Structure formats: structure tokens, C-alpha cells
Amino acid sequence: MKRYTLEVTADLPNLKVIADFIASSLDGIGDGVIYDIQLAVDEICSNIMLYGYRESKGPISIDCTVGDRYVQLEIADEGIPFNPLSLPDPDIRADLDHRKIGGLGIYFVKTTMDETAYEFKDGRNILTIKKMVNAPPSAE
């Protein structure tokens, strides 16, 4: 099992830093899995940056664990307490003119990851996502 950590300021230009961190941490996992995880983490971190801190730019920490058959990421922030998993799933079959704006990103996270969990602990929002992989990561 390998573990990687990153801490950045909740500022939109850091989305590229986060994407690069995920790509380097998951090297050898498979492009499709990396892409899904990058999109999910981008959605989560964008929401933290835009809504979690409102007008400030606090920290976002990412703890990435790569096991033999899974990747788990724990994304933590000190913004406004909010459980994005509590939002109802959007009605993706509704006519576009009748759909509510928003909610598709978190729906994507919930449907592409194998496990999702949220907790508010010690003044921090902690969102954990887990993705199973078909092949073990390459050995270093």
C-alpha cells in the first residue's frame, strides 16, 4: 500500500496542481480510472473552493491511498460544514427545461466511485471516495 498527501490553498488555479498530484500518485493504475478519479476530485475541490470557504481561501488536504485493488482519497477542508452526499440525486430523465440547475457533479461522483462517505470531524469536512481497480498498481 502506498500513501500520498497534498495540501493546497482553496484557489481555482490549484485544480491543475491537484490533477497533476492524482496523475502522479496513480501512475500505472490505468488511464480510465485516473480520469474518473481526477474528474471526481475536481468536482469536489471546485465546490469547496467556490462554496465551502465563501470569500476566504483556506486549506484543502488530499490523502491518497493506493492499495492492491483500490484507490481511496480523503479530501478535507475547514470550510462551512456541508455534506454533499445528502443532496438528492437529480432527475436525469427530466426534460432539460424542467431540470434544476446543479447537482450533476456530485451525482457523477456518487455514480463513478465505488464508495463515498462524509463526516464532519474536528472542525473539518472529510469526504472519502474509493474506486476499485482491476489490476494492481505497478511496483516501484
- The distance of Cα 81 from the centroid of its chain, to the nearest Å, equals 16
- The values of phi and psi at residue 13, to 5°, are -60, -20
Q: Taking a C-beta distance cutoff of 8 angstroms, is the pair 13, 78 a contact?
A: no
- 19-26 long-range contacts, CB within 8 A, separation 24+: 21/62, 21/64, 22/64, 22/73, 25/64, 25/66, 26/64, 26/66, 26/71, 26/137
Count the residues in the chain. 140
Q: Is residue 140 part of a domain?
A: no
Residue 30 sits in a domain of what CATH number?
3.30.565.10
Q: How many domains does the chain divide into?
A: 1
Q: Which three cell numbers stand for residue 65?
A: 491511498
Q: Is residue 50 part of a domain?
A: yes
Dihedral angle, C-alpha 129, 26, 38, 132, nearest 10 °: -40
pTM for the whole structure: 0.86
Report the distance separating Cα 27 and Cα 43, nearest Å: 21
Q: What is the mean pLDDT of residues 66-90?
A: 91
Residue 15 has pLDDT above 90, yes or no: yes
Q: Is residue 139 part of a domain?
A: no
Q: Is residue 78 part of a domain?
A: yes
98: containing domain: 2-132
Report the distance separating Cα 83 and Cα 104, nearest Å: 15
Q: Is residue 81 part of a domain?
A: yes
Q: Is residue 73 part of a domain?
A: yes
Q: Is residue 137 part of a domain?
A: no
Report the distance separating Cα 80 and Cα 13, nearest Å: 21
Q: Is residue 72 part of a domain?
A: yes
Which range among 7-21, 63-77, 101-115, 116-130 shows the weakest confidence by mean pLDDT? 101-115
Residue 97 has pLDDT above 80, yes or no: no
105 pLDDT band (50/70/90 cuts)?
confident
Q: What is the mean pLDDT of residues 109-123?
A: 96
